Structure 1
Amino acid sequence: MSAATVSVCVPAYQAGRYIADTVSSVLAQTFGDFELVVLDNASTDATPEILRGFADPRLKVLRNDRVLPLAENWNRVVAASSGRFVKVLCADDLLHPDCVRRQYEVLATDPGIALVCSRRDMINEAGEVLAANRGLRGLVGRHEASAVIRKIVRHGGNPLGEPGGALFRREQFDAVGGWDARWTFPMDLALWIGLLGHGDFFGQPESLAAFRIGRDSLSARAQRAEYAEQRALSEGLASDPGWGVRPVDRLVGAAMAPGARLRRQALFLVAKRQGERG
């Protein structure tokens, strides 16, 4: 069997509640030349049984013998894939049917672009939209990597979005060393930054993915840790002379960071309350 052009990689752990919808959203893609690789991280819920219920030659299911740390597991699912282009999709998130096709067209036609991201919808446990067409403010279209880095610093959070909204080249993923275990919460943003060392960025105005926020996503301790990691990552960027970040970018980022954190917390709170009512 020849290698697929695009690999959609899904790391799954205790994903029984949502994995069927996630897999179905990938298998419904209008782009034909893709594979779907799901790595079950030793789940003890219904995840394995649900995955066995799919009979599609594009789907490859793997399973770890033991639970692996986040970065190791995510790197393993990409390593098990064969495509020249890669998308990593969390096991409770969704793709629009045209997502892979639209993003592949960008990368396949312009070798100077290292990363393409779309806007996305934020959804609750029931799949209802909490906030539509989020992200990429000021980043739609093609942008030089250095300009995107300055935007990241000024944003105070992650203006590019989660993995489900992104597509990148496998060769460049391998070149930057994949997912970096030094980071927990901004692990996706750290990868986007590494990839931007290899080319430009392209932002798509359409919402082509959905990021799910569940009631268990909210943790005051995790929120504090996420904020601290995000600030450390941003400060590291600002201190790197290679990116040309200006002092004003750093000042704006420090001022904007609390607001970015509060906006994200607000969505988590809404999802939590809706989940409790349901």
Structure 2
Amino acid sequence: MPAITICIPAYAMGGEGASYLADSFDHLCAQSFGDFDVVVSDQSDDQAVAEVCAAYGNRLTVTHLWNRDGARQASANVNNAMHHAKGEIIKILFQDDLIIDPNGLQRIHDEMGQGAYWSLCGSGTTRDGVAVDRPMVPHLTNRLHFGKNTVSSPSVLAMRREALVLFDEALIWLMDVDIYKRLWDAHGAPIVVADTIIANRLHDGQVSASVSRSLRQTELRYMARKFAKTTSLCGWMEYLRQRLKAL
């Protein structure tokens, strides 16, 4: 059983998915911490992602899973990867993001070694996979679950196996803040590794760039019902603010 399983939801991503995944694998090969494996849940209609997984098989322990019949959205795809994870710690990593710090996995493993149920790490943004801008240290707020994302993408998240929470497959835009809220409610505050460990890639094919106003409205109403009992006054103020933005 590996110490960490890295769960990657993958798809063709407009023809760039395999290239992004190979870049991510290169960074994984450079990690100082070696006790990890990788599970890739693949919804591509071609063989490109599968070929990348096979090509790195002599340097990484990679399990490639076809998930062509599953719901075509990130929440369902990453859940499929997590269902097959064997590690003590489950680390989420989206296909277009990078563990940019070569000591990143070591830091996460060491910080969670004291029994922490979940952790978040610092992140930045990149367009070329090299230069990282806009460093961000995650922190939780009572406005988080309505889209005031002070944490970053799911790639900053790691969970201990016994505390594993799946993504809500009813959500697209708010899938990340929803899981942070549920982990916070269930297990308290996370361990935060403040260093910039994750680089979130910015590109035209990002799902967040294509979220419609009607989808925002639908998901905000869904979250209001889901967390009605645990939302504070400042949370409801954020809900109203986001509803107005989505008009």
CA RMSD of aligned residues (A): 2.9
CA, structure 1 residues 256+185, in 2 after alignment: closer, same or farther (shift >3 Å)?
Answer: closer
Give the conservation status (yes or no) of the 8 Å contact 1:85–1:169. yes
Partner Cα separation in structure 2 for residue 115 and residue 135 of structure 1: 15
Aligned to 1:115: 118
Deviation at 1:93, TM superposition (A): 0.8
Q: Report the residue type matching 2:103 in the other structure.
A: D
Which AA in structure 1 matches 2:198?
A: A
After superposition, give the CA deviation of every residue in 1:186-240 in whole Å (9 maximum; x if it has no partner): 2222222222212322223211101112122277751425633563365346621
Counterpart code for 1:167: A
More helix by share: 1
Task: Provide the rounded CA distance (Å) in 1 between the counterparts of 2:23 and 2:46.
Answer: 19
State the partner residue of 1:246. Answer: 232
Aligned-residue sequence identity (percent) comes to: 20
Does the 8 A contact of 1:121 with 1:129 survive in 2?
Answer: no
Residue in structure 2 matching 1:103, options 65, 86, 108: 108
Distance 1:103 1:11, change over 3 A: same
Alpha-carbon distance, 1:85 to partner: 0.6
Structure-1 residue corresponding to 2:90: 86
2:219 is equivalent to residue 214 of structure 1: no
The 5-angstrom pairing of residues 22-171 of structure 1 reads: 22-44=24-46, 46-56=48-58, 58-64=60-66, 66-69=68-71, 70=73, 71-95=75-99, 96-109=101-114, 111=115, 113-124=116-127, 126-127=128-129, 129=131, 131-136=133-138, 139=139, 148=140, 150-152=142-144, 156-171=147-162
- Checking the alignment, whether the CA contact within 8 Å between 1:156 and 1:234 is kept in structure 2 is no
For normalisation by structure 1, the TM-score amounts to 0.74
Does the 8 Å CA contact 2:142/2:234 hold for their aligned counterparts? no
Structure 1 portions without partners, runs of 5+: 140-147, 262-278
The 3 A distance-change label for structure 1 pair 59 and 169 is same
Query: By how many angstroms is 1:151 displaced?
Result: 4.7
1:67 Cα deviation from its structure 2 partner? 4.2
Runs of 4 or more consecutive aligned structure 1 residues displaced over 6 Å after TM superposition: 256-259
> Secondary structure at 1:16's aligned position in 2?
helix
Match of 2:4 in 1: 6
Paired AA for residue 41 in structure 1: Q
The DSSP-based 3-state class of the residue aligned with 1:29 is: coil
SS at match of 1:167: strand
Distance 1:218 1:66, change over 3 A: closer
TM-score by length of 2: 0.82
- Structure 1 residue 31: deviation in Å? 1.6
| Aligned-residue offset at 1:47 | 1.9
User: What's the offset of the Cα at 1:17?
Assistant: 2.3
Letter in 1 for 2:91: K
Stretches of structure 2 that go unaligned for 5 or more consecutive residues are none
Q: Which amino acid aligns with 2:38?
A: L
1:68 Cα deviation after fit: 2.0
For 1:107 and 1:115, locate their aligned partners in 2 and report how far apart those are by CA, in whole Å.
7
Structure 1 range deviating more: 247-256 or 68-77? 247-256
